[in-house]
Amino acid sequence: MTNGADKKTLSTQTQQQAADASVKKTVKKLMLMVFAMFGFGFAMVPLYDVFCDITGLNGKTSNVAARYNATSIDRERTITVQFLTRTAKGIPWQFEPMINEVKVHPGERKVVKFYAKNQSANAIVGQAVPSVSPGQAAIYFQKIECFCFNNQPLNASEDVEMGLQFYVDLDLPEDVSTITLSYTLYDITSAVDS
């Protein structure tokens, strides 16, 4: 019965055709799955951003201006907000917070300034990228106005004071009393030019 040399019969041929049809169907389904998963790989990019927005994963903050809608100011709590800056490779800018840390009450609006100076002899476009730690605080750290929403062009030797207006959401979890906001400054001149 297991000898491969058996001749095909008519009935096995019809069976064969039926089998072929179902093979085709399965292949189609599987190919669909392959393409769907390839798409899913890319869909993970926006999904990740959404996920970050909801959870504050990785300290990513929203890059659109928040509207101030705190109903009150919680004077019982004081939150320390620290500012850190870093310049990325190859950007000859001086970039630092003009104040290292501020104490705010949740719901209170606060303005702080950052100083940037292009120390090179060329015009350069900089882009500050914010990151908040602890990550879970990122969604409660609301930027009403921030220089990081736009890029910042500076001519040679030009300097600028850049403002950040923010408030800390009233719903900030109880266990958070310090929020660190870090800006990394990148040279995006070539990206803007092209």
Residue 193 found at the interface with another protein (CB under 8 A): no
3-class secondary structure, 156: coil
Task: Give one DSSP letter per residue of 82-133, joined into a string.
Answer: EEEEEEPTT--EEEEESSSEEEE-TT-EEEEEEEEEE-SSS-EEEEEEEEEE
Span interacting with another protein, options 67-75, 106-114, 128-136, 161-169, rule CB under 8 A: 128-136
Asked if 48 is part of the footprint of another protein (rule: CB under 8 A), the reply reads yes
Cβ-Cβ contacts under 8 Å for 193 (sequence gap 6 or more): none
Window 49 to 88, contacts with another protein (CB under 8 A): 52, 55-60, 63, 82, 84, 86, 88
**Between 34 and 72, CB nearer to another protein:** 34
Collapsing DSSP to helix, strand or coil, 70 comes out as: coil
Residue 17 near another protein by CB under 8 A: no
Q: Is 33 a binder of another protein (CB under 8 A)?
A: yes
Gap between the terminal Cα atoms of the chain? 71
Candidates 15-23, 66-74, 106-114, 164-172: pick the segment binding another protein (CB under 8 A). 15-23
